[in-house]
Structure formats: C-alpha cells, structure tokens
Chains A and B, each alone.
Chain A
Amino acid sequence: MSNNREENKMQKEVHIPEMESLDEINLDEIPKMTRGSQLKAVWKRFCRNRLAVVGLVIFSIILLTAIFAGVFVPYEKALEQNIAIRNQTSSAEHWLGTDNYGRDIFFRIIHGARYSLLTGMGAVAVGIICGGILGALAGFRGGLLDTIIMRCTDTLLCIPFMLLVLALVAALGTSLTNVLIALMLAMLPTYARVIRSAVLTVVDADYIEASRSCGAKIWRIIFKHVIPNAVGPIIVQATMTVGTMIIWAAGISFLGMGIQPPTPEWGAMLSEGKNFITTTPHLVLYPGLAIAITAFSLNLMGDGLRDALDPRLKD
C-alpha cells in the first residue's frame, strides 16, 4: 500500500514540462554534496581553531587519566598514609610531594580526577538535559506553561545557591549521588533560563515558519532548526559551568556534606590543604591547578565547538 503511494508520488514528480528529466542528470558531474558529511565539516572547522584543539588534547588527557586511573596507579596507593614523609615538596619519589598524612599528591590527583570530573560533568549534563527540556518547552509553547515554569525557576533562583545545595544534601544524606542531584537541581533554573532565551530567539524565525509550511512536524523543527541555531549559548554555558561545578562540589565537601575523606577528590584536597597554606602551599596549589586546567581546557573547547557549529563563521 505504502509502496503504491510512493510510486504515485514518484510519477507525479517527473511530469513537469520543459524540465530535464531526472535520469538525464549525472551526479558525477556536479560538486559532491554535503549529505552526511556535516560532521566532517564541523570537525574541519574545529581543527582550524588551534586553541580549541589544544583544549581538546588537554581535556582528553585528563579524561583518559580519570578513566584509566587504576591502570596507572592502584587506588590503595592514593590512600596510603605515611606520617614519616608528611608535607614534603616535590621529589623523584613523590612527583608533587605529599600531604599532611604523607599521601602522594600526584596519585591522589590522578584518582581525584574521577570524582571531580564525574561531579562536574555529571551535574552539568543532567542539568542541561532537564533544564533544556523545561526551557525549550517554556520557550516553544509560551503562554501559561511558560509562566508556570519560569516562576518556579525564579523561586529556585531566589534561594542562595549554596544554601539550596546544603539543604538538599542535608535532606538527602551525604553521598556522591546526592551531591550530584543537589548540584543539578541548583543549576537547573539557570540552564532553563538560558535555553529558554536561546529558543525564544529562534522560535519566531521565518525559516521555522517556512519549515512548517512544508508540513514539518514539531520534532523535526526542534532537532533540525531550533537546536542547531540555539546551541551556541548553551555550549558556552555548559563548558563554563563544569569548572564551577567542580568548585561547588569542593565547597560542599569542604563543609563536610559532600564526598567524605579519605576519598581523593580535588575539592576535598583543596579544603584539607587550606590549613597549611602558609607553610606548605603545594597542598592547595596542585589540586587547584588541576581544577583550573580542566576548566580552562573545557572553555577553550567549548568556544571552538560553538564557532565550528556555526557555518557563518567559517573563515
């Protein structure tokens, strides 16, 4: 049945007077089409941005370190205490020195990457998905739904961020998952707002109406027209906040409500080291650097990605 209809349509298509028939067109004679190679074009544009590639390389190294941390160094090594060698600076044996309990800081940073990246990226990813759905709905539908969603996010935004996170963690109990949930909920209104405004700039565009006039369904409009055109500010917001999230997670740990010692988390390491900041500054320097480099590489990558996704900025 459907085949029949397909054929009818096909027949209709070719009966146009004064037009070269489809069979006479030789596809080899014309420029290759971008069909399916959109990703390749984006990748090419991304590679043209040197800084973005640097960001990608640094971030890949950090990510691989986090994934294969156990292969480089056994987890026990990061927890091994030795009072005899506490608060030492860099040496051939302990590359980045040792902390107040004589634990190797380099090993702790390697294993800490797991927890820090997980909290940072996890909170951002879940926050963007949930905030994205809410914000896109609000922007797309408008009206009463928009008002309800936006007033709820406004209410959440009124509560100081840290207070909200602490209240949530206190209510849910201290664990990595709960910290993630708390951070995600606290970030949600911001993402919902950013995404709503990004959608609003696009949703009234003529090309959306043009697509509707061809009979496009709503999901096609969202995925082919709204998201590609609204994705810029969202990517920037996401990459900028991963670093922030890591620091917030550290803050929660610092207040004793997040990741519990002796788990080697970058933020927790920072707060443990802050008591010795005047005597042995390397205790905070190295985990701090780890956070900064991660956030920096993500920012570079995000900037490059945003530009690469926009064909208008091609050259």
Chain B
Amino acid sequence: MHIGHYISGVGHAGFIAALLFGGFAPTPEPFEVTEVAVITGDEFDRMVQAARPPQTATDVAMPAPPDDAQSDAPAPAQQDTPPATATPKVTQAPEAETPPPTPPAPTPEADVSDEPPRIAPPPQEQAVLAPPVSDRPVPRPVPRVAPEPVARPEPEAKPDPVQREEVVPDDALPPIPQDPQEATAPEEATTEIVTEATEKPSSAPTASLRPKTRPNLPAAVAETKPAPATPPATNQNAVNDALAAALGGGSASSAASGGDSPPTDGNGTAPSGPPMTAGDKDALRVSVQRCWNVGSLSAEAMRTTVTVLVEMGRDSKPIHATIRRLGYEGGNETSARQAFEAARRAIIRCGNDGFDLPAEKYEHWRELELVFNPEKMRIK
C-alpha cells in the first residue's frame, strides 16, 4: 500500500465527514429568546436618536501616498510603460458613538398570597335566541349610465343604381371595317409523310379468344320456383326501342309513327330537377308501410311479393285508377290478388291526405313502383 493511498483515503474520509457533520447542511435557526422591557415614548425617542447612523462626510482630505521604500511588497518588474493604477480612496472610519445608558426596567412588585385563587365555575350553556336577522337590504336605485336607449343609427344610404339607358345599336353608324386576315395553312402534324406502306404492323391482337364455356349446372333442384307471371318479353319493337334509345334517338316506335308524340314512360325519359334523397324515399316508404296491413293475408299471400305501379298527382295523392299490378313473385294468382288488394288499400289509405313528398321533385315521384315484400312479416 502506498502512502498516497493512505493520504487519499484519509482525505476522502475527512471530506465525507465534513459533508456529514460539517456546517454544510442547512441547520434550522435556533430560537432566540430576548428579554424585553417596557419603555416610555421618550425613552424610545432617545434610543432611536442614539441609533441614528452618522452623517457621511464628503469633504475628506486625501491621505498621503504610501512610501514605496518602506513597503514589504516585492518591487514590480521594470516595464516600458507602467500601467496607471488607480489609487484607492480611503475613507476615515467614524468613531462609534456609545449608546445612552438605558434606564433599568422597573420591577413590578409581586402580589403573592398563600390562598389559591378561586376559579369561577363556567356558566352553564343556555339556549340563546338567534339574533334577529335583518331584512335583506334593498339595493338602492342606481342611475343607469345610459337611461335612454340609444337610437338605432340611420341605415347607411345606399347609392341608387344609376339608371342607364339601354344601349341601342345604331343602325345608322357604318360598320367598323375589319382588317382582312390572310388565310393561313394549318400546321403539319408531322415532319414527314408516313404512308400505310411504310407503317409497321401493330402488335395488338387482331382477334380475341373465344370465352370458355360455363361449367355444368348442378343437379336439378327438387323445388323449382314458378316462373314470374310477367316475364320480360323481347320482341322486335322492344329491340328497336332499346337500340334507338342507345343511339340517342327517340323511341323507334314513336319515330315510326311520325316522331311527334312525346316519349312514353319507361323509354328513357329521365326526370329533371333535384333527385330524391334517401330521406325523401324513407319518408315515403314509412308512410306506405304504416297502412300496409298483412294481418288478414293468407299464408300463401304472405309468401307473395307483388309489384304495384301507381301514378301520383301533384298534390302528392295517388291517382286511384292508375294503381295496377305489375307482377308478382311466389304464390299463385289467387294469393297475388290478395296481396295486391292489401297493397292497394295501403296506398289509398295512407295517400288519402297526400304523402309527404317534395313538390319540387314531382318529376321523380310522378310514377311510383312499389314492391311489397312480406318476407320479414312472415315470421312475426
């Protein structure tokens, strides 16, 4: 073990001890107990007068500079240009005045008796009436800052539009001559002429592959649904109408009859105006289903979905004579008739006072195709 280690260990231990037991840690200030004495006002004034700080003298004579030869300090090295050092000003310490002697505090005479004092028993608790509560003070009327409402300012005067006379073309004036423009040749699309003979053959396929045949249908189902009553028939007129509509023309049949008749419904007359929103449709749906009573329908009719067409008047009431059955699914003719009658009753009953439909969208709800599907009600 080196001596340095001992020294280092002793040093560190001492440092730690100093940290632990030294005065580095803040220690609470001890309580100071001071004896006080009661003095009079004159005594206090005298004491304050004695403790008043002295007046600082401003006209103090400069002391003589110290003698360099008698100085113990080593002489500074010779320099080329000694720096100018400021001479400190020494002020003469004032003599402390002795405070005036404080008169001895009078010692009160002790009044001691051998008999212990009698302690009066505490008064018994007595119910005390609550002091009467004074009335809530009534606020005094305070004058309003602005007792009179401020008059509305006069509206700003708008400048009247200047009435301008309509500009009438003056036929009497001669037309302004236009500078003739010289005909210009169109710009050439390419810098050289490419003929078909020099065109490279396209790599695009010239014919598409024949589509694969459909997989075989599964085995025939035991229960086959009956065919709908009104299957969409495809005849020549329908084909012609569809073609005419697709090509942007009117109905082929109407064209054949002269083309003056307006396009009939269902042949591409899209309604104009704002479209029906989902809320509009829901409101109409709720209105109809509120009157659609299926309680008296047969089980077969409850399996029949019937589609009903109805034309509406501008008063949002259904035109009764126009209610007709477009078709049905499931069930038979008898059940379809029952289902249609229930649907018709629903339309007429709830449309008696008019449906809640937006008048500006009349073109959209002029014809309604309502599908009454009782599937959800079958299990209820």
Answer yes or no: do A and B interact: no
Interface residues in chain A, defined as those with a beta carbon under 8 Å from any beta carbon in chain B: none
Interface residues in chain B, defined as those with a beta carbon under 8 Å from any beta carbon in chain A: none
